[in-house]
Amino acid sequence: MEGVRLIVGLGNPGPEHLRTRHNAGFRFVDTLAMQLGARFAVDAKLFGETAQVSLGGQTVRLLKPATYMNLSGKSVVAALRFWKLEPEQTLLVHDELDLPPGIARLKFDGGHGGQNGLRDTIRLLGHARFGRLRIGIGHPGHKDKVTGWVLGRPSADDEILIGRAIDDALDVLPLAVAGDFNEAMKRLHTQGK
């Protein structure tokens, strides 16, 4: 994978979704922007909010689609075209049911695993050759409870653990930006062991 130049936080817009599990991707890019003193601004042509940061001497664009999760691909594709970036330079950050809170994992390529933001992006790109940062939110235990779970707010303990996973991922992000995705992955996946 090339150096990351676009980080897309997946989530749902609006104050009612702000602290839900499904908005772990928004939370990641919001935290990154805050740490680096960047502000998001609405960009109608990209169907979302954008910001720009400098990481390791590289310009990195941040995007929060305003299209709702299941139509995120529209915003992702518009941003890639506008900034003349390749999907391989992109990191999509999303909530992950199959990981417990407190765990974050990097991945390149693969399926969508039922995550609707990934599903829509893969559908519009015609492939899945982009990076993903999966922020664990845990699973409610039964598939019939998933919608309420992802759209609900985490417990106080899970909130802290999700924040810790985001911090761990932010620690290795400069490696991914520098083009050393495998080293970023190795360090993130062995943290706390």
Residues annotated catalytic, as ranges: 22
Over its C-alpha atoms, the chain yields an Rg (Å, rounded) of 15
12 among annotated binding-site residues? no
The DSSP bridge partners found for residue 95 are: 135
Beta strands 131-136 and 90-96, pairing class: parallel
CB atoms within 10 A of CB 172: 22
* Residue 191 identity (one-letter amino acid): Q
Q: Which of 59, 93, 58, 101 minimizes the C-alpha distance to 76?
A: 93
Say whether 182 counts as a known binding-site residue.
Answer: no
- Mark the binding-site residues for tRNA, compressed into ranges: 17, 68, 70, 116
